[in-house]
């Protein structure tokens, strides 16, 4: 499949510098791209490769100044990274739209409802009363529990497990081996030291345009719904506990965990390996640094926290700035203590 510079520029509203008939048939990183590949430059530290790459076409920012004329044809756009993402999304859509039909062997309940242009991969299981919307792509070894709903345009990659009653919205992407709707961690301590399981009879609702990475786990609610709102992006290896709510367009990096019944606002960014306790609230626009431990509600919108326990970002930076000076400060304190001791032991004249 080949695309010319003119076709690419029209797709991303770019301005061509060079041969409008230059064409590409695949993609490559700017530092290693070869002839007939499309690359992009967004990070200034890779600028040197702009002049040495063998890529045929390169997407660059409007603001990029040239030190010399590159061999490649350039396409200028306001945001090269976003423009390249648009192209990749279009390419991926073309590839996935070609997947249509039902492979064998599969199990599909007689009561399931399957839309048009659906793909269901081999060894998948589709339970009773499942609804699969138009253009959904169900890759091999996916499990869809009874009464679950997979809306149109959603992609479930190999090994995804959707438990009973869960609802997945439009254009959702769930990557391999993620589990949605497993029991929340609910156990009532007993007087004899044992634990009594609290049945988890709610579900999980994932709204439109959400992406969930591989090997993530989203637990079903005890009652009601665990809710992932539209546009949220979850990385690999994330744990979302029962009755959690994740707001619109919130992004959570790998290995983060959110405990039960916590409400996370919209446009929040949570760094990798961060941990958030249960039954608290995180305001809209909050940024939580990697490996932070959040132990109480963050009520100020657009604030930043870091550390464990997490606290305000600027204060944390000031504290970190002091650490390298601690050995010198300790030495000075010891010298002062010795001086004070000497003054105290000296005989004071009458």
Tens-binned pLDDT, residue by residue, of the chain (350 aa): 789 999 999 999 999 999 999 999 999 999 999 999 999 999 999 999 999 999 999 999 999 999 999 999 999 999 999 999 999 988 888 888 889 999 999 999 999 999 999 999 999 999 999 999 999 999 999 999 999 999 999 999 999 999 999 999 999 999 999 999 999 999 999 999 999 999 999 999 999 999 999 999 999 999 999 999 999 999 999 999 999 999 999 999 999 999 999 999 999 999 999 999 999 999 999 999 999 999 999 999 999 999 888 878 777 777 778 888 889 989 999 999 988 888 888 755 55
In a domain, residue 333? The reply is no
Query: How far is Cα 208 from Cα 222, in angstroms, rounded to an integer?
Result: 23
86 and 201 inside one domain? no
In a domain, residue 288? The reply is yes
DSSP state of 223: S
pLDDT at 313: 73
53 and 126 inside one domain? no
Instruction: Verify whether residue 164 is a known catalytic residue.
Output: no
User: How many structural domains compose the chain?
Assistant: 2
**Domain endpoint, select from 78, 97, 116:** 97
Q: Which run of H or E residues covers position 37?
A: strand 37-41
197 and 48 inside one domain? no
Q: What is the CATH number of the domain that holds 20?
A: 3.40.1390.10
CA 272 to chain centre: 10
125 and 185 inside one domain? yes
**Domain endpoint, select from 73, 97, 121:** 97
Find residue 305's DSSP bridge partners.
288, 312
CA dihedral 56, 61, 63, 64 (to 10 degrees): -40
pLDDT at 348: 55
Phi-psi region of 294 (alpha: psi -120 to 50; beta: other; left: phi over 0): beta
116 and 59 inside one domain? no
pLDDT at 1: 76
Query: How far is Cα 135 from Cα 149, in angstroms, rounded to an integer?
Result: 14
228 and 307 inside one domain? yes
Find residue 102's DSSP bridge partners.
120
Q: What is the CATH number of the domain that holds 259?
A: 2.160.10.10
281 and 140 inside one domain? yes
pLDDT at 347: 58
pLDDT at 349: 57
Domain that holds residue 122: 101-314
284 and 152 inside one domain? yes
24 and 92 inside one domain? yes
71 and 149 inside one domain? no
Q: How many Cβ atoms sit within 10 Å of the Cβ of residue 200?
A: 21
Question: Are 132 and 112 contacting, i.e. CB atoms less than 8 angstroms apart?
Answer: yes
Q: How much is the CA Rg of the chain, to the nearest whole Å?
A: 28
Query: How far is Cα 54 from Cα 22, in angstroms, rounded to an integer?
Result: 13
In a domain, residue 62? The reply is yes
């Amino acid at each position: 499949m080949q695309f010319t510079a003119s076709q690419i520029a029209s797709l991303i509203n770019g301005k061509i510098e060079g041969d409008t008939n230059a064409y590409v048939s695949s993609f490559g990183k700017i530092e290693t791209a070869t002839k007939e590949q499309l690359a992009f430059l967004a990070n200034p530290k890779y600028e040197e490769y702009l002049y040495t790459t063998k890529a045929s076409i390169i997407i660059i920012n409007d603001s990029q100044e040239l030190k010399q004329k590159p061999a490649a044809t350039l396409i200028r756009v306001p945001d090269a990274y976003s423009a390249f993402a648009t192209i990749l999304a279009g390419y991926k859509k073309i590839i996935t739209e070609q997947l249509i039909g039902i492979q064998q062997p599969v199990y599909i309940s007689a009561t399931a409802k399957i839309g048009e242009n659906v793909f269901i991969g081999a060894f998948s299981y589709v339970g009773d009363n499942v609804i699969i919307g138009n253009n959904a792509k169900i890759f091999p070894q996916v499990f869809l529990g009874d009464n679950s709903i997979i809306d149109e345009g959603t992609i479930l990659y190999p090994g995804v497990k959707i438990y009973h009653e869960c609802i997945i919205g439009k254009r959702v992407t769930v990557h391999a081996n993620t589990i949605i709707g497993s029991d929340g961690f609910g156990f009532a301590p007993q007087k004899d030291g044992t634990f009594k399981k609290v049945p988890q009879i709610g579900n999980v609702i994932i709204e439109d345009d959400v992406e969930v990475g591989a090997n993530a786990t989203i637990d079903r609610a005890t009652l009601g719904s665990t809710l992932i709102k539209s546009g949220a992006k979850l990385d690999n290896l994330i744990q979302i506990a029962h009755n959690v709510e994740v707001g619109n367009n919130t992004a959570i990096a790998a290995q983060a965990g959110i405990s039960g019944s916590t409400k996370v606002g919209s446009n929040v960014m949570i760094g990798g390996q961060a941990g958030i306790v249960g039954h608290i609230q995180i305001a809209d626009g909050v940024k939580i640094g990697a490996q932070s431990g959040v132990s109480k509600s963050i009520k100020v919108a657009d604030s930043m926290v870091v550390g464990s326990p997490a606290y305000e970002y600027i204060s944390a930076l000031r504290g970190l700035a002091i650490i390298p000076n601690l050995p010198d400060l300790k030495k000075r304190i010891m010298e002062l203590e010795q001086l004070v001791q000497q003054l105290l032991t000296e005989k004071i004249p009458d």
